[in-house]
Structure 1
Amino acid sequence: MKYLLFILLFCQLGVEVNEPPHVPLKITELRTNSWYNQTMQSWLQYIENNPTDESAWVQYYRSAAFANQSAEKLQSIQSEASELFPDSYISHYLTFKTTGWSAEGIAHLEKAFLLNSDENFALEDKLILSELKRTNSRGKWSEKVFNSGLIHSSTLNYNYNLLMSVNEGGILLTDALHTTIPIWILQDVMNVRKDVTILNLELARQREDYLNAILGSKGLNASIGSLLSVNDWDIYYALTLPREQLSAIENRLYVVGLASTNGSESFDHFEELRNNVEKKFLLDYLSIDFNGEPQTATGKVLSSNYIVPLMLLKDFYDQLENQTKSNELKGQILGLAERSQIRARVELLLNAKKSPPTFKVVDFDIKALDKHLMKIKEGIYASEIELSNREFWFYMEYLRENGYEELYQKGLIDLSEYDEVTKALLSNYHYSPANAQMEERKRPGGSYFDYPVMDITYEVAKDYCEWLTVQYNAHPKRKYKKVLFRLPSREEWTMAALGNSEFTSWTYEENNVVAWAEDGEKMTYSLKDEKVSYPWYHTWKMRNSITNEKDCYLANVKVPEEVTCAAGIKGDGYNFTSPVATYFSNNFGLYDVIGNVAEMTNEEGVAMGGSWRHLASECTITSVNNYEGRDLAVGLRLFMEIIEE
């Protein structure tokens, strides 16, 4: 009854609330669970202000379902909508959604279709219903879904390659319906691999008649359990199937592309895998974005599934000592991993056959290290400060004292290339045994000990990350069982620098931010439509200003010395680098993401965020600063990925 009261109240007050983003079907896009949860809350707020908006209830329910809310929660949404709209298409449609593809659920779905004459309403459900009824109308609805634009081309390409992973006349087992609908479209609209029989396990678990009809067409009679354990090479399992469902045959499964099959030891799966990937697959779409699809397009999200077959194929070429093919595949694998934000883990797998680095374990303050690490997203942390001389000098002293001569020599900096004035400055700034052993490391104005390390190479930065990873994972008081310290990707660095804890995508343009508008109201802004240069965007008018309202600089960037702000500070206060954590942090607690030193990414020669010698326009959260070798303007910020908690 509470929503009936809302109708009366808000119709009288005329309250307006911005409509939240619509929740795309999973055949179109796959978003993160946090995005679905956040959007669900937005739709709840919208409905509380606009309870008579029927379509809003569909969006609210869909976001809750995709966020994996409990059955009780979904039932509650359906009940409240049915109370507001009794015997309406919304009431019957949401009842179907909570009931599923049982006879009762289908009756409600068909009633919803009768009450909503829009032929485009719930197209995907009309297609699924035609499959269940085994009528000739599936082709009609496949074509309508195809023409609706709901399916991105990357999704069709992915499923084309999935079909090409199956031998002629094979049976392909799929899981979720959103991974099956594109296959039906390929078969019905494009006549692709109509010889392959598709069995969707989500439907089969709800409808025994569907299971029997599909298997009966192949002259088979079996339960789902036997299908997941039978030794029959004509059965293929899509790689999207949850691993636990295949536990009975896991040790006998062979990956032959985007599907696996249950074979014997004599089965030459490498040859079949190579034939499928190299002769049958369409792979250009993985490296060339022909249609400008969002990174959340279902086909793009599913593309991480290529990593397993490509790694197996790389192993095959490694055994043949074909380095050219192996390196080619490695490049493809790392490209896919980068786009899927799992590069670090994949690199670990690729390097697993190499001898792990051995370092003498040293005692260090691991609690202080943990304290410096700020959570960016689940499993990803970043250091609150740029790597300082204090930390890097400790590493160099460790190498010197423990005889790691090659690494030590790489970390030393040759000052002979600099002029006398610069050389004098850097002789105090950079590491040397003499500097490290001084109680005070001074320059005019103070010590360089807590200034950012800079002028080191990309390789030295990676060496440091590798050393710290080994030290952390060997420490008895570590917080996590296994971690990886590394340099971030461009996308990771940008979202960390932005400081928006509610971000839902690693792609900058696909996020929204909330900020205070000039009228004092909180507003939501799309980063696709609005330019945001700096992490102090929370006051919206400041988002592209490097100075505050007193014209004082908010970061250490290149500015004319003659500029003096109202607080009496000349320039930005520094002619060179500034101590770490000098300026305000962003909302993640990260200091100096803008200016001071540009911060390395995992791409050699690419840093971001600008530095003390970059203009303000080159020091934004999306600025890319290229460098070669060593650079006085380039340092790094450590990122940590949790591999095993």
Structure 2
Amino acid sequence: MKLITLKILTLFLLGILSNTAFAGNEVPKEKVYSFIKQKQSAQWYIDQANVWGEYLEENSKDADGWLNFYTAKRMLKLYGANVSHEDLIELVKKIGTKIPNTFEYHYISYWNAGLKSNSENLEHLNKAQELGPNRVELMDDLLTYYEINRDKENIVKTCKRWFASNDISAGVYAWNYNMLQSTEENAILITFGDNDTYPSWVLQHAKGIRQDVTVINISLISIDSYRIKYLKELGIPQLPKKRHDYSGWKEFKIAFVEHLKTHTYRPLYFAISSDKEVYESFEDEVYNVGLAYKWSKTKFDNIAVTKRNFEKKYLMDYIKLELQNDLSQGVVDHANTNYLIPLLTLYNHYEESEDVRSVEVKQLIKSIAMKNDMEMQVAKLLNETNSGVSLVVDDPRKLETGFLKVNDTLYALETEVNNESYDLFLTDLLKQKRYDELNVAKAAAVNWRSLLSSSTSSLTEDELFKNGNPSDPLAPVVNLSYEGAIAYCNWLTTTYNSLEHKKKKFGLVEFKLPTEAEWEYIANGGKQNMTYSWGGPYVRNSKGCFLANLRVGDIDDVPGQGISSETECSASNIDGAIFTVRGDSYYPNGYGLYGITGNVSEMTNKKGLVKGGSWNTRPNNATITSKESHDQPSPEVGFRVIMVVK
């Protein structure tokens, strides 16, 4: 059983999808873990499913390969990425024909069936344990099985084995330790997923930590047989109905929590990662005390409790200093965002009381925010966004213009950033008197004539710029620094997120330079392994019209029969330009993006690495997989912005 509750899945979708990475053309096979253990994007799982699938065509007896392939497919199902439960059932059947009588087959079969307690499924669990008694993959399944049967002896044994395996991240343990320490003595703590349940049980049974706390997982407690045993053990009356007698999952959860409120004398807490809907109806009786919420009919000083927890009970050094290469570090970093609510409360308390500890807390808040791309949101809460109010943009819809959808969370600007848009940014910096930033961001003027060869130096202005002038408002901005491009992206992000409008499309977004993999993904236009953004290996179409603004003086005439005249090819799709032209010249790619190949080389998020080639790049150096190095501002380099929806 791999518990994936709505809350945990939502956390991962928000965190993981907002940092989508896209693979290039050469994807290495990697060990595939559940996103409960390792933070990866949906695209990463797609890539791994593809490479492991191809590998298994030639290596169909590789049991570990099938486990990686199945795990990738299962994660894609949870992401809603065109993999259904029926697809997984058929995959398990296929695996059974390829690697029967292996640990991997029986483990996958049990995992795929979930919590079905029929004899066939239990046989898969028993066979997996027999064939791989020390496999850590089994630990959560075994612990779940013993827990729902309330086999206390084996619960303890399994927790000790799991702890001894070093499988769970120290950061995950520290987070769960702090959650347990958030509660009073003999509390009941409602948890909602894997990473706020299993590590807590292991700490309790393997290390003797806070064994007075009863940790109840809201998903597991929906199993009627388990709930009946557990409530009897706790001396709590049974629910009046079985799980499926309720109209839905939400109604059951709310009914169970209300039942506990009515029938237990023990303090009741909810993990901070919990689903708000279970206590929404009595939200004014729920108080944050750190990594948990306490239900209390009477008001109390929860800030004082939070302060005590952070100052005297919590383990926090693991956030301040990472001392190991942790496979689950991304998961830990994301879980640590749950500290932000209590830490911000604590920061305000220290500030109001002029306590110097506010400095340390503020630093901790910023550290957590930085690791989760939340600097802008946190800066706003810390009242550090005074420079984020634009004086030239008052409608966020203006900043949405020109961004085309690539997938549900990723949008790309249809052209490179042009002179007009960049000048607006510079004007805003000037009006806000942000002179230091303005000096960094300014694009240096270009003496274009100085770049002409001897054969073109005598051209008139009309001849030189017959298809467009580099100073045209819609031509790409060039000769700016990498830092200037980053500042522009940050300006877009801050401005957009700070503006409100009833027709604003998105809540929170991030504008940024693409990674190399993201750039290649959008460049391919929805296809794979493209040579150029239009697909084929040639830089002219069948009429001889050039398809991009490149250095084409020495290109032969294939596939066209000679270079066509301007009467045959419109000015938008012949390479009559010596330098840059308008960003929407030439044909767009499959996503509707112009100028992916040629015109100007486009920056990536890695300083100095540019892609796509420019007006001065030979075609064989402007393929989608090609890369160039430009460490300094150049008339050949501009940038394109992508937008990630949070």
| Structure 1 segment 306-345 matched on structure 2, within 5 A | 306-320=339-353, 325-326=357-358, 328-345=360-377
Report the CA distance shift for 1:407/1:292 in structure 2 as closer, same or farther (over 3 A).
same
Report the CA distance shift for 1:493/1:415 in structure 2 as closer, same or farther (over 3 A).
closer
Question: SS where residue 336 of structure 1 aligns?
Answer: helix
Matching of residue 497 in structure 1 with residue 513 in structure 2:
no
Kept in 2: contact 1:386–1:637 (CA 8 A) = yes
Q: Which amino acid aligns with 2:233?
A: G
Kept in 2: contact 1:494–1:621 (CA 8 A) = no
Question: SS where residue 194 of structure 1 aligns?
Answer: coil
Report the CA distance shift for 1:275/1:204 in structure 2 as closer, same or farther (over 3 A).
same
Q: Which amino acid aligns with 2:121?
A: H
Alignment match, 2:317:
284
1:196 is aligned, of 213, 217, 222, to 213
Report the CA distance shift for 1:578/1:192 in structure 2 as closer, same or farther (over 3 A).
farther
TM-superposition CA deviations, 1:14-50 (whole Å, max 9, x none): xxxx996554245532444555566567667777777
Q: For 1:264 and 1:258, how far apart are their aligned partners in 2? A: 20
Matching of residue 24 in structure 1 with residue 40 in structure 2:
no
Matching of residue 138 in structure 1 with residue 155 in structure 2:
yes
Report the CA distance shift for 1:637/1:41 in structure 2 as closer, same or farther (over 3 A).
closer
Instruction: Give the superposed CA RMSD.
Output: 5.9
TM-superposition CA deviations, 1:96-120 (whole Å, max 9, x none): 5465446x34773256414752312
Identical-pair percentage: 21
Matching of residue 271 in structure 1 with residue 304 in structure 2:
yes
Q: For 1:304 and 1:314, how far apart are their aligned partners in 2? A: 15
TM value normalised by structure 2 = 0.63
Q: Which amino acid aligns with 2:326?
A: E
Q: For 2:358 and 2:297, how far apart are their aligned partners in 1? A: 26
| Structure 1 segment 111-510 matched on structure 2, within 5 A | 112-114=125-127, 117-118=130-131, 119-121=133-135, 122-132=138-148, 133-210=150-227, 212-213=229-230, 216-217=233-234, 219-221=235-237, 223=239, 224-226=256-258, 234-264=267-297, 266-294=299-327, 297-320=330-353, 325-326=357-358, 328-347=360-379, 357=389, 372-375=402-405, 378-393=408-423, 405-406=431-432, 447=469, 448-449=471-472, 450-452=475-477, 461=488, 465=492, 469=496, 474=501, 480-482=504-506, 487-488=511-512, 493-499=515-521
If asked which structure has higher relative contact order (CA below 8 Å, sep 6+), I would say 2
Kept in 2: contact 1:170–1:236 (CA 8 A) = yes
Report the CA distance shift for 1:514/1:266 in structure 2 as closer, same or farther (over 3 A).
same
Report the CA distance shift for 1:107/1:485 in structure 2 as closer, same or farther (over 3 A).
closer
Q: For 2:307 and 2:597, how far apart are their aligned partners in 1? A: 45
Give 1:306 deviation, angstroms: 2.4
TM-superposition CA deviations, 1:131-162 (whole Å, max 9, x none): 33332222322232233343222222222222
Report the CA distance shift for 1:394/1:241 in structure 2 as closer, same or farther (over 3 A).
closer
Give 1:469 deviation, angstroms: 2.9
TM-superposition CA deviations, 1:388-439 (whole Å, max 9, x none): 2222446778x79xxx954698998799999xxx79889xxxxxxxxxxxxx
Q: For 1:145 and 1:167, how far apart are their aligned partners in 2? A: 27
Q: Which amino acid aligns with 1:108?
A: N
Matching of residue 109 in structure 1 with residue 122 in structure 2:
yes
Q: For 1:598 and 1:486, how far apart are their aligned partners in 2? A: 19
Report the CA distance shift for 1:35/1:358 in structure 2 as closer, same or farther (over 3 A).
closer
Give 1:128 deviation, angstroms: 2.3
Q: For 1:257 and 1:120, how far apart are their aligned partners in 2? A: 36
Kept in 2: contact 1:253–1:260 (CA 8 A) = yes
Kept in 1: contact 2:389–2:498 (CA 8 A) = no
Give 1:335 deviation, angstroms: 3.5
Report the CA distance shift for 1:498/1:189 in structure 2 as closer, same or farther (over 3 A).
farther
Q: Identify unmatched segments of 5+ residues in structure 1.
A: 1-17, 427-439, 504-512, 517-533, 540-553
Q: Which amino acid aligns with 1:109?
A: L
TM-superposition CA deviations, 1:623-643 (whole Å, max 9, x none): 99999xx99999765444546
Q: Which amino acid aligns with 1:391?
A: S
Report the CA distance shift for 1:298/1:228 in structure 2 as closer, same or farther (over 3 A).
farther
Kept in 1: contact 2:586–2:595 (CA 8 A) = yes
Q: For 2:372 and 2:441, how far apart are their aligned partners in 1? A: 41
Q: Which amino acid aligns with 2:146?
A: S
Report the CA distance shift for 1:177/1:635 in structure 2 as closer, same or farther (over 3 A).
same
Q: For 2:154 and 2:295, how far apart are their aligned partners in 1? A: 33
Give 1:452 deviation, angstroms: 0.3
Q: For 2:385 and 2:432, how far apart are their aligned partners in 1? A: 22
Report the CA distance shift for 1:163/1:147 in structure 2 as closer, same or farther (over 3 A).
same
Kept in 2: contact 1:97–1:105 (CA 8 A) = no
Give 1:621 deviation, angstroms: 10
Kept in 2: contact 1:64–1:74 (CA 8 A) = yes
Report the CA distance shift for 1:282/1:411 in structure 2 as closer, same or farther (over 3 A).
closer
Question: SS where residue 216 of structure 2 aligns?
Answer: strand
Q: Which amino acid aligns with 1:29?
A: Q
Kept in 1: contact 2:515–2:604 (CA 8 A) = no
Give 1:237 deviation, angstroms: 1.1
TM value normalised by structure 1 = 0.63
Kept in 1: contact 2:602–2:637 (CA 8 A) = yes
Q: For 2:396 and 2:342, how far apart are their aligned partners in 1? A: 41
Kept in 2: contact 1:157–1:285 (CA 8 A) = yes
